[in-house]
Amino acid sequence: MIQNFEFEKNIGQFRPTKHAFKLNFVTSTKVKEQDFPMIPEMVYGFTLFDDVLTGSANPDYLIGAYAVSIQNLMYGFRLFINEDLKDIEDYKNRFDPSQLSLVTCSQRLSQVSYSAQPTSEDRFLYNAQVKSLSELCELKKECVCVAVAMITKFLVGNGWIYESCPKCNKKVECEKFPYTCQGCGNESATIVARFGPKSLDSWIIRLGGK
């Protein structure tokens, strides 16, 4: 049984099977062994190893020996190898020397020193303080905030958007334009649609407001 995978057409110059579609494994893919005797073992027509060895397999599909390669995944940028270990030496010897770029210990130190410089995002997260919504409402000075929340449901009985004044965000109910906002006294010919989801600690956040 396979969970969490990508499903797409089996196209391209080299294909591992004759089937019209293929499954791609992703980071969250899970595979569990299940007993389904009613499903034939070769229902999808995978190329048999015996056919590959005897040369009777269709040459239009993926057959052959390919060199070992390394690709970075997710947030990996460099691969450092301890060249003093025998297993690592054996592993490196499997690569094509013309395609292998080795980072020595001295080069590694210089690269680590360079890559250790924090980015603006790192500096922001380092100085960040975690506060609840109620604590944010008590702040006495302007600051930059990043809200992390989970929307569980929308209370749509009274509508989940409202028309507001573009200056003070107060709800506006008018039949003609221009109008005068009862909250700030601003005269305007436009209104702004704003959202009012209910937060987990019962505070109301008006996105785009003050």
If one compares 102 and 189, the residue with the highest pLDDT of the two is 189
Rounded Cα distance between 22 and 159, Å, is 44
Instruction: Look up tokens 């591992």; give the residue.
Output: 16
The pLDDT, as a whole number, for residue 82 is 60
Q: Would you place residue 50 in the very low, low, confident or very high pLDDT band (cuts 50, 70, 90)?
A: confident
The encoded tokens of residue 32 equal: 């569990």
Q: Would you place residue 193 in the very low, low, confident or very high pLDDT band (cuts 50, 70, 90)?
A: confident
Tell me what the pLDDT averaged over the chain comes to. Answer: 69
Q: For 13-28, how does the pLDDT look when each residue is reduced to its tens digit (9 = 90+)?
A: 667 667 788 888 888 8
- pTM score of the predicted model: 0.23
Sign for the pseudo-dihedral over CA of 196, 197, 200, 205: negative
What are the CA-CA distances from residue 170 to residues 53, 78, 162, 167 (Å)?
76, 52, 9, 8
Q: For 126-171, how does the pLDDT look when each residue is reduced to its tens digit (9 = 90+)?
A: 667 778 777 887 888 888 777 777 777 666 666 667 788 888 878 8
